[in-house]
Amino acid sequence: MLTYDENGLIDILGLLPEELEEQILLMGEKKFRAGQIFEWLHVKRVGSFDEMTNLSIQLRDKLKEIFCLKSLFIVKRLESSTDNTVKYLYRLSDGNHIETVIMEYNYGNTVCVSTQVGCKMGCRFCASTIAGYKRDLASSEILQQIYTAARDSGRKITGAVLMGIGEPLDNYDNVVNFLGLVSHPKGMNMSLRHVSLSTCGLVPRIYDLAELKLGLTLSISLHSSNNKARSEIMPVNDRYDINELLEACRYYFKVTGRRISFEYALIDGHNDSRADAQELAKLLGGFVCHVNIIPVNKIKERDYRSDRKAAERFRKRLEALGLNATVRRTLGSDIDAACGQLRREYEI
């Protein structure tokens, strides 16, 4: 995808191989150069044009006049002492901050990436949205979160979740371009089967995403089983209510064959009663899905709370009602890995 920086330079890391090839041909260079450059960027993952040592110095200088190659600066790295979670606070080239987390599962390392600086969605329990929205991330900035984390940690990254700061479907074009880049066989070649995209429910974009048939897992931040309760904690519900959302999910499943994952942040006294479980089971009955229960992470601005015991109780209730549910493993709790909390300390 063609994007330009403030100096009118093309963001080279955001280009798919065929787009890079087009640019290289426009420069009057040979086509095979594009393949070499793509490999430097996405396989060897260099940080500058000068490291592309099989290109002549003249060509490297020419590239610098047309393209930019930006990197992320690691401001902070927090490593959990209880599991192998690592959390990064990165500074972007314009001075904004974002967060990225590496989580270790038995099948490999997964990176949780941010898609925007801040968020417009206004979910009441979420730290990422409290200071509002600043800007969308470029696809290269989403990708660099993974490349930088992989390089710094020395770990092999096999999966990604779009569950960091921001609403991925509110930055649709960049997110789709990122998915194309990260899964490209000539680049990182990550299987989209190992990628999950989480959304608060931007319904028209769920339909768009379904049409792309990408094979990724769609996670829906549901968090309530009725419109009144959902609207209280998620303003997006006033735009697209639960019925519209579930209709879009049915369509997504029909077109892609991929089971939907519903996220349910359990909040004491708000959505954790026996009646809530019954209502949720009724709502999702017949749906090919999975419910992921997360005891709400406490943020300092709100008084929402829950705990693992309550989450386990709720899970048992759902299971008895025939729903497939798990309690999300808490990773990195000693380093405050809940999204948006670290960035907030730096931005204000």
* Binding footprint of ligand SAH on the chain (CB under 6 A): 123, 125-126, 163, 167, 198-200, 221, 263, 265, 294, 296-297, 299, 338-339
CB of 28 to ligand SAH, least distance (A): 44
Residue 29 is a catalytic residue: no
CA dist 99 and 115 (Å) reads 10
CB of residue 32 to ligand SAH, shortest distance in Å: 40
Cβ nearer to ligand SAH, comparing 144 with 292? 292
**Which two structure tokens, joined as six digits, stand for 182?**
């990260």
Q: Compare residues 126 and 284 and give the one whose CB is closer to ligand SAH.
A: 126
As a whole number of angstroms, the distance between CA 299 and CA 306 comes to 12
Choosing from 21, 99, 167, 263, the catalytic residue is 99
Let me know if 339 is a catalytic residue.
yes
Taking the complex as a whole, the smallest distance from the CB of residue 115 to ligand SAH amounts, in Å, to 8
Closest CB to ligand SAH among residues 184, 302: 302
Distance CA 238, CA 200 (A): 12
Q: Which of 68, 200, 289, 339 is catalytic?
A: 339
Q: Which is nearer to ligand SAH, 153 or 198 (CB)?
A: 198
Indicate the residue type of 82. Answer: T
Report, in Å, the least distance between residue 247 CB and ligand SAH: 18
Q: How many CA atoms lie within 13 A of 265 on its CB side?
A: 18
Listed in sequence order, the residues at least 6 apart from 108 whose beta carbon sits closer than 8 Å to its beta carbon are 156, 157, 158, 159, 194
The set of residues, in sequence order, having a beta carbon less than 8 Å from that of 319 and lying 6+ positions away, is 325
Q: Which is nearer to ligand SAH, 111 or 296 (CB)?
A: 296
Dist CA 99 CA 114 (whole Å): 6
AA identity, residue 152: D
In angstroms, what is the minimal distance from the CB of 147 to ligand SAH?
21
Q: What are the tokens at 308?
A: 């693992």
Question: Which CB, 55 or 325, lies closer to ligand SAH?
Answer: 325
**Rg of the chain on CA atoms, in Å:** 21
197 class by beta-carbon count within 10 Å (0-12 exposed, 13-18 middle, 19+ buried): buried
For 11, 65, 164, 171, 306, the CA distances from 313, given in Å and listed in that order, are 49, 60, 27, 36, 12
Q: Please name the residue ranges forming H helices in the chain.
A: 17-26, 32-42, 57-66, 139-153, 172-182, 203-212, 227-233, 242-256, 274-284, 308-320, 341-347
- Annotated catalytic residues are 99, 339
